[in-house]
């Protein structure tokens, strides 16, 4: 008897959570209903088309930190997606080759592999597709495929590492550079107190933080910021600034000012906010979201409470040793600052 | 009797090593004589005026990796003194604020605390005096003391960390920023096979490498490249390029084109060479040194043998976890790209 009740509970929860049942339940949404919008982090964000192995991850880590992937030899992936600062550069928009100031804010690399697509406009399907982009972007790392391969082939340790990581390929391929970096990125998961809560530890978040979670659900934030990454899974129009967003890629009228919804994991660390990085305060960002996306004017108190919840999404940051990079040889193409 | 012979041996060695006894000993310089020019690395390069403690080192590590110490928020100490690449940036000269190309090659931070002075022109006595320099240099990190203190004071974790590291000072002081960074740098020692050899492990270097060491001593390289850092301890004129070196500081005629002798520890990793970073090949650098500084034309074979020895100076590189930096607050001065 007891057992059948337990089995029944989740079903009940699903029933309660669906529709606008919330409206009549001021403060009384039950835990299962709250949790049903999210799922907790995996240990690694696996991709069946780019299987993880230690050699690949180690190689990817080296490449991620290697400034030789840029034309100047000065900029690495980590320059803008800094592992020590929430996987971002905490700049409005990033600095690239020749001190070029980029058009959009650098999204975090932490948990990024779990997003439904990559870049603010979602133009890459996954981190495998994303990782090769900035290296070749003239305003970012400004390197060429040809020169990357020349550089890597001139360094015996890299040649060896590629052979080990991709035993089926006899030569270094550019797509494997991206695959290795992506493999490393797939390990950058930051489990948070909110994950502990999702997994059943009710004490992992405070009463105030849970109140914030309830507001987050009731006010409708959860409509976009849901799933394993509390965002990152869908596209949404955002009438803010001049950036046409996804329209630049699809040229479809309906995609004007449409952006991929940002993941809120580690949002406390990934300031400044929005695609133009012009908003520095998390409270201000929540306020703007309320007004623009939900059409509600959130009270200062509600904002504070929601922000308290958002801070439970700050996870255990990656513990990564600065990789010691293999030295160049006399055959390695030289850095070019111009 | 046996004991007194053992006690006598070091004395004998000192006697043999002194003077130009070498000339008559083709290939037969004994180990004690060879070793007498050098000393092995300490575990930490201590400074009685800046005592090491864990809190200070931890704080210094964070500051070393924190790009907020630059005006732009993009450049950290590690940008040019990269722990993953021999403590340098492997660029001819470094890139600074606004993509400014600096005038001189970035010297390595590894073992730097053991040098007799800092910078190519020796204008700073020690790493404590050095560390505060590049932060304020308009062509490097381009920040001001005032803004650094404003930034650090706006971040509670940093305030706390300074209190712990410098309990006698109630406020954050700029000189303590430098002291903390210097404390971290004093831990960046890279013991090498050559150190193992100096400590008595005769098998730590090969026969060829030892031959290179003998050449290094006999040809006179050791006249400047000696001591614990195999260089770094004296100044020398170097007729090469237009840079006036130490003269720019002292305005003394005799200091024209005088530079601090570079340490050769990790020289395999710290390419490109010399103060202008225009020489990429270690063999080429050795050849130039022979011609310009010793007035000898070294044979290709001798150069190869000396280079083999120089590679024994490549040490165990630091094992440093990327420090997780405390987030800014709404009071933290914003990055300024201009």
Contacts of A268 in chain B (CB under 8 A): 327
> Residue A88's closest chain B neighbor by CA?
B74
Q: Could you list the active site residues of B?
A: 140
Interface test with A, best of B99, B271, B281 (most A CBs within 10 A): B99
Instruction: Tell me the pLDDT band of A20, cut-offs 50, 70 and 90.
Output: very low
Instruction: Output the six-digit token pair for B216.
Output: 């290094």
Instruction: Tell me the pLDDT band of A51, cut-offs 50, 70 and 90.
Output: very high
Q: Kindly report the nearest CA distance between residue A149 and chain B, in angstroms.
A: 19
CB contact under 8 A, B89 and A98: no
Per the residue annotation, which of A140, A143, A185, A209 is the catalytic one? Answer: A140
Residue A116 in this model has a pLDDT that exceeds 70: yes
CB contact under 8 A, B322 and A325: no
pTM: predicted TM-score of the whole model, two decimal places: 0.92
Q: Kindly report the nearest CA distance between residue B222 and chain A, in angstroms.
A: 25
State the Cα–Cα distance between residues A163 and A168, nearest whole angstrom.
Answer: 8
Contacts of A67 in chain B (CB under 8 A): 82, 85, 89
Interface test with B, best of A99, A100, A109, A281 (most B CBs within 10 A): A99
Cross-strand bridge partners of residue A258: A237, A245
User: For chain B, where are the alpha helices, taking DSSP H only?
Assistant: 2-17, 31-35, 54-65, 77-80, 127-131, 133-136, 145-153, 156-165, 174-185, 193-198, 207-218, 247-250, 282-289, 300-310
**Tokens 């995609």 sit on residue:** A255
CB contact under 8 A, A334 and B280: yes
pLDDT along chain B (338 residues), means of 10: 43 41 51 95 97 98 98 98 98 98 98 97 96 98 98 98 97 98 98 98 97 97 98 96 95 96 98 98 98 98 98 98 98 98
Residue B318: closest CA among B113, B165, B126, B122? B113
Contacts of A65 in chain B (CB under 8 A): 84
Residue A265 in this model has a pLDDT that exceeds 70: yes
Averaged confidence pLDDT in chain B: 93
Q: Kindly report the nearest CA distance between residue B329 and chain A, in angstroms.
A: 8
What digits encode the pLDDT tens for the residues B195-235? 999 999 999 999 999 999 999 999 999 999 999 999 999 99
Interface A-B, measured as beta-carbon pairs within 8 A, has a size of 91
Cross-strand bridge partners of residue B87: none
Rounded to an integer, what is the distance from CA A193 to the centroid of its chain? 18
> Residue A73's closest chain B neighbor by CA?
B91
What does the pLDDT read at residue A29? 73
């Amino acid at each position: 008897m007891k057992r059948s009740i337990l089995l029944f509970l989740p079903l009940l929860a699903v029933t309660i959570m669906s529709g606008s049942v919330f409206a009549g339940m001021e403060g009384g949404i039950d835990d299962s209903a709250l949790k049903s919008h999210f799922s907790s982090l995996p240990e690694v964000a696996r991709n069946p088309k780019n299987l993880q192995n230690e050699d690949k991850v180690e190689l990817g880590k080296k490449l991620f930190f290697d400034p030789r992937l840029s034309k100047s030899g000065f900029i690495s992936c980590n320059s803008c997606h800094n592992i020590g600062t929430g996987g971002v550069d905490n700049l409005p928009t990033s600095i690239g080759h020749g001190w070029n100031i980029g058009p959009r804010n650098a999204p975090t690399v932490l948990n990024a592999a779990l997003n439904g697509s990559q870049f603010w406009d979602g133009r890459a399907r996954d981190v495998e597709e994303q990782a090769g982009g900035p290296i070749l972007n003239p305003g970012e790392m400004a390197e060429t495929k040809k020169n990357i391969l020349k550089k890597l082939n001139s360094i015996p340790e890299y040649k060896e590492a590629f052979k080990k990581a991709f035993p089926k390929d006899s030569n270094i391929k550019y797509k494997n550079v991206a695959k290795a970096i992506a493999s490393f990125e797939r390990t950058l998961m930051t489990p948070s107190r909110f994950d502990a809560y999702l997994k059943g530890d009710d004490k992992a978040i405070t009463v105030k933080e849970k109140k914030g979670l309830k507001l987050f659900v009731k006010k409708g934030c959860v409509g976009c910021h849901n799933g394993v990454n509390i965002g990152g899974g869908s596209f949404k129009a955002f009438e803010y600034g001049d950036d046409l967003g996804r329209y630049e890629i699809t040229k479809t009228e309906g995609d004007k000012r449409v952006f991929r919804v940002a993941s809120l994991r580690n949002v406390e660390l990934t300031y400044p906010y929005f695609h133009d990085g012009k908003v520095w305060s998390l409270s201000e960002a929540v306020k703007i979201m309320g007004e623009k996306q939900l059409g509600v004017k959130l009270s200062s108190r509600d904002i504070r409470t929601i922000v308290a919840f958002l801070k439970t999404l700050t996870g255990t940051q990656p513990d990564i040793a600065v990789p010691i990079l293999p030295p160049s040889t006399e055959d390695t193409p030289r850095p070019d600052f111009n």
